[in-house]
Amino acid sequence: MPIAITLPYLSPVLANVTAYLEGYSFSFRLSATYRDSYIARVDEGTLVDEDETGFLPSLYLDGVIAYQIIAYQMTDNVEIRMEATNLTNEREIQYSDSTQRPYNTTVSGRNYSLSLAYRF
């Protein structure tokens, strides 16, 4: 009979999907990353009330919009880029012993950036 071994920090399912659209001077990208629940640590007999700790599933959504402005008879190139990460404001939920027993929640929040690049 085979023995099932669960490796720490290894999710059974990990998926990433990206959709993008690019034109002459415009680009748009939207990415979603899903990570299934996983075990972080298995007790080695040191804790009385905790056999394992792990994390619940998470889904992150990121997006990028870029627009290039070409001027001066096609010799100068300016790019405006807006990026956003963690659009769904996903939480990392850590559990102890059972997925019904969460003990730590981490929220990194949404992040936005706006940049301007000039190439000469």
Per-10-residue mean pLDDT for the chain, 120 residues long?
75 94 87 91 62 86 81 59 88 82 86 84
Q: Quote the pLDDT of residue 44.
A: 63
DSSP-assigned letter for residue 75:
T
Where exactly are the structural domains of the chain?
A: 14-119
Q: Tell if the pTM clears 0.85, that is, is over it.
A: no
**What pLDDT, on a 0 to 100 scale, did the predictor assign at position 100?**
78
Amino acid 72: pLDDT: 43
Tens of pLDDT, residues 8-35:
888 989 999 999 998 878 889 999 999 9
Alpha-carbon distances, residue 86 vs 47, 56, 60, 112 (angstroms):
35, 17, 5, 9
CA distance 53 to 96: 4
